[in-house]
Structures are given as structure tokens and as C-alpha cells.
Amino acid sequence: MKDISWILLSIGLSTLVILLLKPLWNNKKKHSKIKINNKYVINETQYSNKKSNQIITLRFSPKVKSNIPFDEVMRLFKKNNLSFNNMQIFERNEGNKTLFNVANLIEPGTFEENKEIPGFTIFFQQSDSDSDLNILNEMIEIMHELSKYYDAWILDDNGKNIDRSDLNKLLTFNE
């Protein structure tokens, strides 16, 4: 009788263990992979010009790692007709049109009072060759004005130094 009780006890424990583990096995089998192959278009525009969606970006980065106080930035940019907008970046306007924007070099790109700035990202959206070259010239002029106060690199998207002779190359590279 003792032999049968041990066998029954073993069968009962085995059944209990199987009942406890079965939900775990079922959960593993029910996991499935979801594959989403949608193409998202954000801010789709109706531009006929293919270049109009290209963004030209230059960076102004001090050669020696030193931060620029916000008050100085505000003063220098106002002197160069840049205004601080509600998105907490600077912009250069001509009438109702924004020519280019200046953001903080460090993400998220906004400027905050009492915070020092390590450099700038100056950018605009291409429209037509003549005005684009004028905008780039204005951007370089402001960067050279800033260079009087701060010894800095002017860099393109690839991290290469850029000067006025490279402006046409910069525009044709993005076509």
C-alpha cells in the first residue's frame, strides 16, 4: 500500500507542476511579432521645386571649448537684426518672410535664459538659387561678426570648415 501511495503522490505532484507551468508555455506560444510597413510623410508640402525641401545648415563652434553667456548672445544677435521668437530660437526676417534661423548647437536647440551656449546651428530651407546665395552670405557675415568675439569654426553638415568660396558648392551639393 505504501508503494501505491508514493506512486499516487508522485503523479499528483507531477500533475500540479504541469498545471502550474502550462499557462507559462501557452503565453510563450501566443506572443507574435507585429511588422508595420507604413511610410509616414510629415509636413508634406506642395512645392514644385525639388530643392525647396532641402535644409542648408552651418554650425558655429568655438575652437576652444568655452560657453557663451545668453545675455551676450541676445545682444550680438539683436545687433545683427535677429529676433528671439516664441520657439526659443532666433530668426532673421525680411518683411513677413523668415530668411534663416539660429538654434543652440546642443539639442533640443532652444535657448534658455541664464544658460550658456556652446555654439550655434544656423539653417534655412532652400527656395531659389539667387535668394539662397544671399541668405548664405548673410549667415556667413553674422558668423564672421561673431568670430570677432569668439574664435570659432564655421562648419558644414560634414564637419568641414567652410568659408565664402564654398557657398556655391554648398548650394549645388544639396540639389
CATH code for the domain in which residue 142 is found: 3.30.1400.10
Domain count, the chain: 1
Instruction: Tell me the per-residue pLDDT of 165-175, one tens digit each, with 9 for 90 and over.
Output: 666 566 654 44
Q: What is the pTM of this model?
A: 0.62
Grid coordinates given for 175: 540639389
Instruction: Tell me the per-residue pLDDT of 131-146, one tens digit each, with 9 for 90 and over.
Output: 888 888 888 888 888 8
Asked, for residue 21, whether it belongs to a domain, the answer is: no
Sign of CA pseudo-dihedral 142, 144, 150, 155: positive
**How many C-beta atoms surround the C-beta of residue 44 within 10 A?**
7
Distance separating alpha carbons of residues 120 and 109, to the nearest angstrom: 8
- pLDDT attached to residue 159: 78
Give the range of the structural domain holding residue 97, as residue numbers without chain letter: 53-173
User: Any alpha helices (H) in the chain, and if so which ranges?
Assistant: 2-30, 70-79, 129-149, 167-173
Asked, for residue 62, whether it belongs to a domain, the answer is: yes
Radius of gyration for the chain, computed over Cα atoms and rounded to the nearest angstrom = 30
CB 162 within 8 A of CB 154: yes
Instruction: Tell me the per-residue pLDDT of 25-84, one tens digit each, with 9 for 90 and over.
Output: 665 555 555 555 555 555 555 444 444 568 888 888 888 777 888 888 888 889 888 998
Asked, for residue 136, whether it belongs to a domain, the answer is: yes
Distance separating alpha carbons of residues 78 and 99, to the nearest angstrom: 15
Asked, for residue 112, whether it belongs to a domain, the answer is: yes
